[in-house]
Amino acid sequence: MSLKKINKSDILKIYEREQDYLLKAVKKAKNPYHIFSLSTINNHHPESRIVVLRNVQINPLKLYFNSDIRSPKFVQLKKDRVCSALFYDQIRKVQLRFKCEVNIHYDNDISKIAWNKTALQSRKCYMAPFNPSSRIESWHPNIPIDCIDRDPTLDESNLGYNNFMHIELSIIKADILELHYDGHIRFEVLENNEINFLSA
C-alpha cells in the first residue's frame, strides 16, 4: 500500500479551511464549531465549560464569546489572562485546540457592538437576579420572573448590559488534528505563522 504524501502547503490549506469553518460557525447553530469548550485556571485547577462562538477574526486569528461579568470565569480570566479553547467536528473528525490570551471587553465600543447583536431573548440571562454559578437556597430560573414567558422589551433588556462582557481570545498557538484511517494529520501553527508537523 502506498503512503499518502502530505506537505506543508497541504496543512496550510487545512488551516485556512478550518478558519473558514470557524467563520461560518458564528451564524450557524448546527455547525459543530458553533460551541466550544473553554478552559480557564481556577486556583491552579483547570475549569472547563461550553460557550457559544460569537465572532471570529482572521489574520491574526481571534475568537470571541459573550458572558456575564458576575460569573466565576470573569474572576479566573482576569487573574490568569490565558485559556484553552477546544473545538471538535464529529462528522469531519477534526479537532482544533487553541492556546489563547484573553482580553475582556466591558462597557466599551467593542462590547457595545457585541451587545447590539444579541437577541432580546438572550438578554434575559444578563438580567439574572442571582450571580451566575452562585449557591441558591432552592431552585430559581435566574431570569426576571415577569419575563419568564416573554422577551424583555428593548428598554428592560438594556439593564442586562451592566452585566455583559465580550471576551476576545488571541491565538498564541493552534493545534490541529484531522483523523484518518491511513494516518492522522496533526500540526501546530504559532503566532508568527510558523507551521510544524506534530506526531498524532
Ligand X SMILES: Cc1cc2nc3c(=O)[nH]c(=O)nc-3n(C[C@H](O)[C@H](O)[C@H](O)COP(=O)(O)O)c2cc1C
Distance CA 15, CA 171 (A): 13
Copy the grid coordinates of residue 162.
451592566
Cβ proximity to ligand X: between 132 and 144 the closer is 132
Nearer to ligand X, 35 or 143 (CB): 35
What is the size of the binding site for ligand X (CB under 6 A)? 14
Of residues 197, 41, 26, 15, the one with CA closest to residue 117 = 26
For ligand X, the closer CB: 115 or 187: 115
Spatial separation of the C-alpha atoms in residues 2 and 183, rounded to whole Å = 12
Q: Are 42 and 49 in contact (CB under 8 A)?
A: no
Is 98 an interacting residue with respect to ligand X (CB under 6 A)? no
Secondary structure percentages of the chain, helix, strand, coil, to 5: 30, 35, 35
From the list 22, 26, 63, 67, which residue makes contact with ligand X (rule: CB under 6 A)? 67
Interface with ligand X in residues 8-37 (CB under 6 A): 35
Q: Residue 6 or 125: which CB sits closer to ligand X? A: 125
> Taking CB under 6 A as the rule, which mask of x and - marks residues 101-140 in contact with ligand X?
-------------------------------xx-------
CA 51-55-161 angle, 5° bins: 70
List of residues contacting ligand X (CB under 6 A): 35, 47, 49-52, 65-67, 71-73, 132-133
